Copies of this chain bind each other. A is one copy, B any other.
Amino acid sequence: MELYRRRFRKKHIIMKRILFAFITALLFCNMLQAESVISPVINADNSVTFSIYAPKASSVLLAGEPVNFHAVEMENDGDGLWSFTTSPLRSDLYLYHFVIDGVFAIDPSNTYLLRDGNDIYNYVILPGNRGDLYIPQDVPHGTVSRVWYQTPVLGTQRRMSVYTPAGYEQSGREYPVLYLLHGQGGDEDAWLVMGRAAQIMDNLIAQGKIEPMIVVMPYGATQHQAIPGEAGNEGMYRPKFDGAYNTTMEAHFKDILNCIDTNYRTIKSPAGRAICGLSMGGEHTFQIALNYPGTFDYVGLFSACARVRQINGKEVFPEFYKDTEAKLERQFAANPKLYYIAIGDKDPLYQMNVDLRKLFDAHDWKYVYVESTGGHTWYNWRVYLADFASRLFK
């Protein structure tokens, strides 16, 4: 009972009564003790200690990025407090969760939570050279909007996220636009939550390292209209985020362009438009740049699934990929200001990008190539965004 009294004393008198019914639920569990756990804790050497109170568990795992995408056994202190301390980590954003006796669990001590498709993670950001870019700093902040657009091509309405830089509302001037595309399994939240796009833009604009720009983040999986719960009751509390790649994103991209150029003060010329994307979004980028000639002066492929395999003899979406080489010829004849290819040395799509560059080299099509360490990860994509955006509209 002492625990209850302590808890109650902390609470506003009104909230006490209101919460009473839920407190009843707490009687049945150990969530009060859990409330006093602090997790995660960033230690002086940049290791991180994760903890959870689970006195009846026989096994608790920590899974995710802080342990290099693996799952490790946590240690019980004998009183039911399970902990694990990582090795020192570099400054970055890390996703994690627990597994208690085989069951997925979030960290009840950490309110920082995000959703990647159907997967829920807690996250922790280690300050420093990368992390400071992802942490909101005391700088002017842009506006992030959830914008619905009509797509006559698909015969429906769909949602996208739009970032407008600080000062947009009052400046009266026209802004360049970056179209920023997510990968398979993502949605219009992906670049905002895993990608920290708004924080990266806010911080780099404030530092004068990138130009103020509008950033448009559409939903690349056209079978859905918006994130789960905001797109009509699809009758699925666990929507399917997978699905074979198809070409509807490219086909209806004109409707996105039209919505943005109609409703925002945009620079409506190639010099004021950039497009980039990761993985599947890299393929979308590759194709949209090809099929919307005279639209973009800046193109960025991040760990892109850029299939030029038809050119190499394989049939992949033959109808869609026909004339790829001719279209690339036309694209580069217009002298784009930047064609940017970035990938990690351990990325499973590495060879695909080697093939792509071979093709470009054979035709003397100019591109900037950035190779980083590591694989197909948000660690890399956030850095590519910061780097790519710093090269735009100058």
Q: Which residues of B contact A368 (CB under 8 A)?
A: none
Of the candidates B29, B113, B136, the one whose C-beta lies within 8 Å of that of A99 is B29
Of the candidates B15, B29, B146, the one whose C-beta lies within 8 Å of that of A104 is B29
Least Cβ distance of A28 to chain B in Å? Answer: 5
Q: Which residues of B contact A40 (CB under 8 A)?
A: 237
Chain B CB within 10 Å — which of A12, A61, A376 has the most? A12
Q: Which residues of B contact A170 (CB under 8 A)?
A: 262-263
Least Cβ distance of A279 to chain B in Å? Answer: 7
Chain B binder among A118-126, A204-212, A285-293 = A118-126
1/0 contact string of A346-389 vs chain B (CB within 8 Å): 00110000000000000000000000000110000000000000
Question: 27 A-B Cβ contacts within 8 A?
Answer: A14-B279, A15-B184, A17-B348, A18-B375, A21-B68, A22-B63, A24-B69, A28-B63, A28-B71, A40-B237, A55-B102, A57-B101, A100-B103, A105-B106, A106-B106, A111-B115, A123-B229, A136-B230, A136-B232, A137-B232, A138-B232, A142-B148, A144-B145, A145-B146, A169-B262, A170-B262, A199-B230
Alpha-carbon gap, A18 to B29, bound state (A): 37
Chain B binder among A238-246, A248-256, A318-326, A331-339 = A238-246
Contact at A103–B21, with CB atoms within 8 Å?
A: no
Least Cβ distance of A266 to chain B in Å? Answer: 13
Tell me how many chains of this kind the complex includes. Answer: 2
Tell me whether A129 is interfacial, beta carbon within 8 Å.
Answer: no
Q: Which residues of B contact A17 (CB under 8 A)?
A: 348, 376
Alpha-carbon gap, A63 to B23, bound state (A): 10
Contact at A232–B135, with CB atoms within 8 Å?
A: yes
Which 10 residue pairs of A and B lie closest in terms of their CB atoms, listed nearest first?
Answer: A21-B69, A25-B71, A30-B102, A56-B101, A145-B145, A17-B348, A25-B63, A141-B148, A29-B102, A110-B237
Tell me whether A312 is interfacial, beta carbon within 8 Å.
Answer: no
Alpha-carbon gap, A50 to B125, bound state (A): 34
Q: How many residues of A contact B (CB 8 A)?
A: 100
A54 and chain B: residue at smallest CB distance? B103
A199 and chain B: residue at smallest CB distance? B230
Report if A109-B232 is in contact (Cβ < 8 Å); known contacts: A34-B104, A71-B25, A145-B143. Answer: no
Least Cβ distance of A291 to chain B in Å? Answer: 22
Q: Which residues of B contact A226 (CB under 8 A)?
A: 136
Tell me whether A270 is interfacial, beta carbon within 8 Å.
Answer: no
Alpha-carbon gap, A145 to B232, bound state (A): 20
Tell me whether A147 is interfacial, beta carbon within 8 Å.
Answer: yes
Least Cβ distance of A300 to chain B in Å? Answer: 19
Contact at A105–B102, with CB atoms within 8 Å?
A: no
1/0 contact string of A197-233 vs chain B (CB within 8 Å): 0110000000000000000000000000010111111
Contact at B148–A146, with CB atoms within 8 Å?
A: no
Of the candidates B102, B198, B230, the one whose C-beta lies within 8 Å of that of A56 is B102
Contact at B118–A111, with CB atoms within 8 Å?
A: yes
A347 and chain B: residue at smallest CB distance? B18
Beyond A56-B101, A143-B145, 5 additional pairs, beta carbon < 8 A: A12-B184, A12-B242, A40-B237, A142-B148, A143-B148
Least Cβ distance of A329 to chain B in Å? Answer: 27
